[in-house]
Chains A and B, each alone.
Chain A
Amino acid sequence: MADQACTDGFRNDICLSVHGRRDGVHYLKKEQIVMWKYILKRVGLMLLTFFIIMFICFVMIRLLPDTAQAPQKESEKQAWLARREALGYNKPIMVQWGIYLKNIFTKWDFGTSWKIDYFTPAWDVIAERLLPTVLVNVYSLLISIPIGLGLGILAAIKKNKWQDHTISTLVMVFVSVPSYVYAFLVQYIFYFKLGWFDRPTILPLSETGGTYFSWKMFVSMLMPIMALSFGTIAGLARFTRAELTETLTSDYMLLARAKGLTRGQATVRHAMKNAMVPILPMLIGEFIGVLGGSMIIEEIFSIPGVGQLYMKSINQLDYDVFMIDSIFYTFVGLLAGIVVDISYGFIDPRIRMGEK
């Protein structure tokens, strides 16, 4: 390989550090290597954690005695037990775990629902219920983020004034009260007392043209969206206020003002940017986390989503549905964690992974 000098004339070691090249050949920068090692390590740990959680879920749910659900009539009980035997529920749990994994890896078969959605593949059961959960939660976030950030910024800028006191008080109230309490209140006030909605729940597809992407459906989702948003708005406002207040009182803000920037310019160009460093990863986490949905909100507003599916799968001991729902929740939770951690490095290049 021909010896190629750095185009900028740097020495090889400096060129490697600055351009990622040595002798004209591209190499990963040291920090990139560290970063990739970190990502791979996190992904590996995530997979390990994922399997451990899955195993625990599998064992725990199968240890719950489903035989209590057996019919009392002897002949029906025999038919019920025969199905149980055929499904392998009487085999040792480790054998069942092995079969379960084998079916997933060889046939992408996550099992079958026998109770919640009779004789339907567990994968289809969850897939069918994913969209309403995601939609309600995404809508909720899209509304919560600008309002939450706006209120937080306003409270920080108007620190210790009546606006700040009002916002902070409301934030305390909304952070403290669980979302299902708002859900009941929202339902009672906006549906029952004010009559702004056609139903106390979200509308069924039969009344929205068969799609979740209709205006009517969106309107009917506003109640659960509101119930989900209050807490998120309050949380974001509190966090933003705290971060922005800190940056607004930093020395560099004084410098910025001293060099002639207006308060607004200094706030937007310097304070906001820095304050966003911890806030943005939080938003990314929230975006991924929304897939998890809200179990109780779904129940109250009859949203046929994965949240209430999870509760039903536990109550009815629908093993395979419980497992795929657990897989879903666990994966989403772990993914959110890893994405947030990694995103720090991209959002603020000053933050680097290092090794001791």
Chain B
Amino acid sequence: MKTKRLLGILLVVSMVFAAVFTLVACTPAEDGYTYRSYSTALGTNWNPHTWEMNADQSILEQISIGLVDSVMANEGEFKWQYEMATDIQDITASATDGDKAKWDIGEGATGRMWKITLNPNAKFENGKVINADTYVESMKLQLDPELKNYRANSYTENDFEIVGAKAYYNQGKSGYFTAAELEDYGDNLSSLEGLYFDATNVNAFGSIFGTSDMTKLEKYKSYFQVGGEEGYNVYDDLVGYAGDNRVAMTKEISDKLAGLFGSDGLLGGYWGWADAEIGYFTVAFYTYPEVSFDTVGLYKTGEYEIVYVCKNDTSRFDFLVMCNGASWLVEPELYKSLISEKGGVKTSSYGTSKETSVAYGPYKIDSLQKDKQIVYVQNENWYGWERDDNGNVQKDDKGSMISWTTLNGEKVRQFITTKYVVDVMTDEAAKQAFLKGDLDELALASEDVPTYSASDRLTKVDETYTMRFFFNTSCTTELDKGNDNKNSVVLQSEDFRHAFSLAINRAEFCTTATSGYKPAFALLNTLYYYDAENDPSSIYRTSEWGKKAIVDLYGVEYGEGKTYKTLDEAYASVTGYDLTSAKKLMKSACDALVAEGKYKAGEDITIQVAYSAAAGTSESAAQEALLNRYLNAAIEGSGFGTITLKFVYNLQTRYADVINGKYAIGWGAWGGAAFYPFKMFECYLEPDTTDIHESGSFDPKTETMTIEEFTYTDNKGAAQTFAKTTKTWESWSQYLKAQKTAGADINLLLALLSKIEEAYVGKYYCIPVCGTTVVSLTGYKVENATDTYNIMYSFGGLRLLKYNYSDSAWTDYVKSVGGNLSYE
């Protein structure tokens, strides 16, 4: 009896709880304009000073707004719209003598001073005013030497380096630094006092010859002869030094280095090195002295005015690009309160949760559940909302705060979205949610692209990345010993690699085995602008020189009496696929390899491809199958046995693995820097710039390339001649960048870029296959400002997003169509 009573009480209590929970959970939601998106992971650190991952950056960008923003003005045109700033001016010309001296921006120097007038209405979401002090204090925290912030390098090096920032950031840091790093050490460097010959770099020097051990370079000893037959050979000295860490620099060593690596030196002269390159072997022990923040070129000149002293020559366009998006701005008080030390690392937990974030853009974080969901809502303290006389933000009937901008000359609403929700879910779940109306966007997988290819809700966004195969041809004979490869030595044949390229039916490959990628015939696609500041249509790829590179590379002739009359026709005809030529090249490759004794005719060939850091997918399996089909079609009758390419996945170090000879082929892409095509080849040709390079195939520091004499028309319409020149690949890349910095004629730059691209791709050290594209569907609920993608404003972004349905109307609509939407 007692048990029954107890059970009865439990039942009633449960029902009451259930009813309460239901009531709480079912409170009717306000109507509004909610945009629902998804991601497979959320960012965890959107501190502007320390963020690392793209997912981190996406949160930071949502809660911030730039000093300026590039906004759609008309169809195909953009405008710079001031946001956190009201004006940005180059004041270098009006700098006082004192400023010039202090910031080293006088005659001959390259620096520039930018005056930034701040928006006096800008506030953080907590209502605190943002003024010049906030920006200066934020930069001080950004460069704090104790915090060692990950993103400090944005201001201590490269194009937007602030004068004095590096010295401030590095203060107290001790160690051996190369001459290039120690500009402030100039006097001592010239006197050799306190200098060391860095023998640790001797072995690194050996890598130029394909080994990390100098002692193995005995056979190249003749290269180390300084001063001709009468001179002396420095090889033994170098090998002798290599055992020590650092040797005090002497006149003798210095002269030997100059004789070998100087601009007139035995090797340096041949490679086109500058004298400064000797500094690579010269280091000094140095401790950065303590300096005050007054020495940093970011300072306040008024309540709402700061000056940014850029060490390098930056165009206004480039500077505005830098100012577009989240800056170094933080809420200093909160930031400092969150600084602590854990595990020996001192940093701030600013920007790691809702509580530790302070927005200053049109949106702020409303809720964040880690690994699950982030919700942004309109930030009532953003300066851009319309307000009544009492300062209250004006809202429309759906509760959306009102802000205006101009588009196509008309006044239109901006930032209508009341709530922006990002849910974490798998791609499979996202697809279902999208088709049920629970998401407003969906990135398509390759297998879904054909299904939705005719959809008017389909958007394709080209990216700057060109997927390519890259090779290690220098040690392929060794590769077969250590893994499943067989006869990978065939990759040493340029004809084989050329045939490999021509055998790939890129159009079919992209259509059937990628999520909407586009065929690529060279390394730079149509997203690289050579003069975006002055000409929004200045696309390198579609310029005459850009087209010429591809037409010449694939041997398409044009002109009178040819199949194609014009360059445009010839360019349009390029497919990159020529099975007949591929077969011929395969035959000649096989004959040559057999004659050299490197390959036995008819033997099967198996080569592993270091494919990706992730696991294999149906897409990658399809690519693997296609490539094997292509290659085996090309080798018919060539004498080669069956070729099998095997994709290897989950490789975290595949670039290094290929360079180091663990794999003969890799698959990857370079991209970014859409406005800097003249810099792009540093990725391929300058091994010191990045860990990822092509040195497994060739040595850009020593292998030379000759550009034959050519003529071009300069921007004044006059014909100019560029004389035949030979340089190492690395030097060509550096030369191109230097010419750009020196303000060389744009047509010369385009011609050089074209020649370098053509020559490099023509060596088949890598084979471009496809340019990446993001293919997605946009839900019926919303409408982008434009259907045509523009790199400066995308499709108009969240700023100009329009709604066909409010939240409640959308729910009704989805119900009215039975809960399932069709986008086919």
Contact = CB atoms under 8 A, between A and B. Distances in A.
A260 interface: no
A214 B25 contact: yes
Interface stretch (A30-38, A45-53, A68-76, A148-156): A68-76
* Band of interface residues on B: 35 or more
Contacts of A191: 432, 436
A116 interface: yes
Contacts of A88: 343-344
Interface in A65-114: 65, 68-77, 79-80, 82-83, 86-88, 111-112
Nearest to B654: A68
A301 B428 CA distance: 10
B133 interface: no
A199 B433 contact: yes
B653 A68 contact: yes
Interface in B405-429: 423-426, 428-429
A42 interface: no
B25 A215 contact: yes
A328 interface: no
Interface string B130-155: 00000000000000000011101100
A302 B24 contact: no
Interface in A259-304: 299-302, 304
Contact of A188 (B50, B157, B375, B432): B432
A200 interface: yes
B372 A119 contact: no
Nearest to B340: A119
B93 to A, nearest CB: 31
Contact of A215 (B22, B366, B689): B22
B344 A87 contact: yes
A117 B369 contact: no
B798 interface: no
A299 B425 CA distance: 8
Interface in B344-403: 344-345, 347, 349, 352, 366-367, 369-373, 375
A64 to B, nearest CB: 9
Contact of B819 (A70, A121, A195): A195
Nearest to A188: B432
Contacts of B45: 118-119
A204 interface: yes
A120 B148 CA distance: 18
B438 interface: yes
A296 B529 CA distance: 44
A191 B44 CA distance: 30
B153 A184 contact: no
Contacts of B716: none
Nearest to B27: A209
Given A214-B21, A215-B21, A118 B432 contact: no
Contact of A216 (B25, B153, B157): B25
B342 interface: yes
Given A117-B370, A200-B432, A79 B148 contact: yes
Contacts, number: 142
A87 B344 CA distance: 6
Interface in B14-63: 18, 21-22, 24-26, 44-45, 50, 52
Contacts of A208: 25
Nearest to B435: A192
Contact of A80 (B150, B349, B652): B150
A213 interface: yes
Nearest to A300: B426
A245 interface: no
Nearest to B157: A75
Contacts of B303: none
B21 A213 contact: yes
Interface string B282-304: 00000000000000000000000
A60 to B, nearest CB: 16
Given A86-B345, A215-B22, A205 B369 contact: yes
B370 A200 contact: no
A83 B44 contact: no
Given A205-B369, A208-B25, A116 B44 contact: yes
A246 interface: no
Contacts of B150: 76, 79-80, 83
A73 B432 contact: no
Contact of A83 (B25, B148, B653, B689): B148
Contacts of A214: 21-22, 24-25
A115 B44 contact: yes
A112 B343 contact: yes
Nearest to B692: A72
Contacts of A75: 153, 156-157
Contacts of A137: none
Given A216-B26, A302-B423, A118 B152 contact: no
Nearest to B166: A75
B703 interface: no
B691 interface: yes
A212 B501 CA distance: 56
Contacts of A73: 153, 690
Contact of B342 (A119, A129, A200): A119
Interface in B653-687: 653, 656
Given A77-B691, A214-B21, A206 B152 contact: no
Contact of B44 (A82, A111, A117, A188): A117
Contacts of A240: none
Interface in A113-168: 115-121, 128-129
A79 B169 CA distance: 12
B352 A120 contact: yes
B485 to A, nearest CB: 22
B352 A118 contact: yes
A78 B349 CA distance: 21
Contacts of A13: none
A308 interface: yes
B53 to A, nearest CB: 9
Nearest to B53: A115
A196 to B, nearest CB: 11
B25 A86 contact: no
Contacts of B152: 79
A218 B18 CA distance: 10
Contacts of B425: 200-201, 302
A229 interface: no
B373 A206 contact: yes
Given A119-B347, A128-B370, A204-B373, A112 B342 contact: yes
Contact of A69 (B369, B430, B652, B692): B652
A348 interface: no
A308 B371 contact: yes
A209 B369 CA distance: 13
B438 A198 contact: yes
A125 B243 CA distance: 47
Nearest to A207: B25
Contacts of B652: 65, 68-69
5 contacts: A117-B352, A119-B45, A200-B432, A216-B21, A216-B26
Given A71-B52, A117-B352, A192-B436, 5 more contacts: A74-B690, A83-B150, A116-B44, A120-B352, A299-B426
